[in-house]
Amino acid sequence: MNPKSKPKIIIVGAGFGGLFATKGLIRAHADITLIDQQNYHLFQPLLYQVATAGLAPSDIAWPIRGILSKQKNVTVLLDSVNGVDLNTQEVITPQRHLAFDYLILATGARHAYFGHESWEQYAPGLKSIDDATSIRQRILMAFEKAEMTHDEIERQRLLTFVVVGAGPTGVELAGTIAELASRTLAADFRNIDSRSARVILLEAGPRVLPAMPTELTVYAEKSLTNLGVEVRLGSAVTHCDESGVMIGDEHLPSATVLWAAGVAASPAAQWLEANADRAGRVIVKADLSVPDHPNVFVIGDTAAVKDSNGKPVPGIAPAAKQQGRYVSDLLKALIEGRPKLGEFKYKHSGNLATIGRKSAVIELPFIRLTGFFAWWVWGIAHVYFLIGVHSPLLVGLSWLRQYVTYGRGSRLITGRRFNKDDV
């Protein structure tokens, strides 16, 4: 590469890792291409709020081009990636081959059904805006169909909501659905009592929120129970279809099953023909580069990274942000001919999960919080980290209105038409 020419940097994925890597290169003497198959950056931690009618999609997603409009060294492409040719140093899309000098893969993760991919149509996961609006439709339509049916057994099935997996997403979904049924919808129907709905949270392991300290998980389980959620631990799903789920030989009839039990990395390891862990994440070096390919970096949920204690770095937004910033700093040093940075060092900023509208659990490096105060800290932290310029205030005001009124103004059923099967 000619020292006077601008190196070509391709970044695949505009999630937290990819976006923070891109923004970190704002002053880099380089031509940057950011590729994503969506035209928006998604604040994924609040997807469950869209899925449960608490927020509109536009509250938690912003156009990538708008975010980067003032960064003149970046070209944004709305495209998908089919592979990477390491021999020719090209990224392959359906429309073109794009040459690179440096490559950053931040392609995220998808749902993992542990070898039972056919379950996805019956138990959708929550990773995208489309997932969230589809789940919102399923939840709201379950109440609408229950209102119309005269079959009591079918009504009970329609008013049974099963959430599989008790990590943060599962806990947040279960708690919010319970609150939706018991408070928000309580006065909306005439033939059913929405408060009779069952919300069942299934966890194969021995406790909810397994990444958190035991005292916080005990508090979270108690809070869920107080909201009316049936928490069932040591309950692994053995089958799933349109009728509900099986736990061993027990059948749980349910019209709405939601999957929050696991994730699998994108196909990046296959593109690179690189070693991967059991979840498909690329095993990277200490500088987040791919072994034998020092100009190719993998970050975020796509990468298997260890912290200074040899423990896996969690697949959470703060970790992806740190990795994005680190790689951008490393590339700037390389481009400018400065000494290479040391290895990536993850700084854990804490774990957070909310349980309904009045409670949360928070693990910070030096303190643990529960209850109403933790809920406010959780809300402030999430609003603070929103990417949009004006959105934090608007989303904060929206949450405040919902808190005072118990309202969920985004209770819209879209993308469907009435048909005879609804009766």
Query: In the predicted model, what is the mean pLDDT of residues 89-104?
Result: 97
Q: Is the pLDDT at 419 greater than 80, yes or no?
A: no
- Per-residue pLDDT band at 370 (split at 50, 70, 90): very high
pTM as predicted: 0.91
Query: In the predicted model, what is the mean pLDDT of residues 129-138?
Result: 94
Q: pLDDT digit string (tens) for 24-65?
A: 999 999 999 999 999 999 989 889 989 998 888 888 888 999
Q: Is the pLDDT at 417 greater than 80, yes or no?
A: no
Q: Is the pLDDT at 186 greater than 50, yes or no?
A: yes
Which DSSP symbol is given to 180?
I
Query: In the predicted model, what is the mean pLDDT of residues 260-288?
Result: 94
Query: In the predicted model, what is the mean pLDDT of residues 89-99?
Result: 96
Average pLDDT, rounded, for the chain: 90
pLDDT for res 401: 62
Of these ranges, 12-21, 108-117, 310-319, 334-343, the one predicted with the greatest mean pLDDT is 12-21
Q: pLDDT digit string (tens) for 267-276?
A: 999 999 999 9
pLDDT for res 389: 46
Question: Active site residue: 147, 152, 154, 172, which one?
Answer: 172
Q: Is the pLDDT at 404 greater than 80, yes or no?
A: no
Q: What percent of the chain has pLDDT over 90?
A: 73
Question: Which tokens go with 221?
Answer: 């389980």
pLDDT for res 283: 97
* Angle value at C-alpha 346, between 345 and 350, nearest 5 degrees: 155
Query: In the predicted model, what is the mean pLDDT of residues 143-172?
Result: 97
Q: Residue 131 and residue 294: Cα distance in Å, rounded?
A: 36
Q: Is the pLDDT at 199 greater than 60, yes or no?
A: yes
Domains of the chain: 8-37+79-111+263-336 (3.50.50.60), 117-261+358-422 (3.50.50.100)
The answer to whether 147 is a known catalytic residue is no
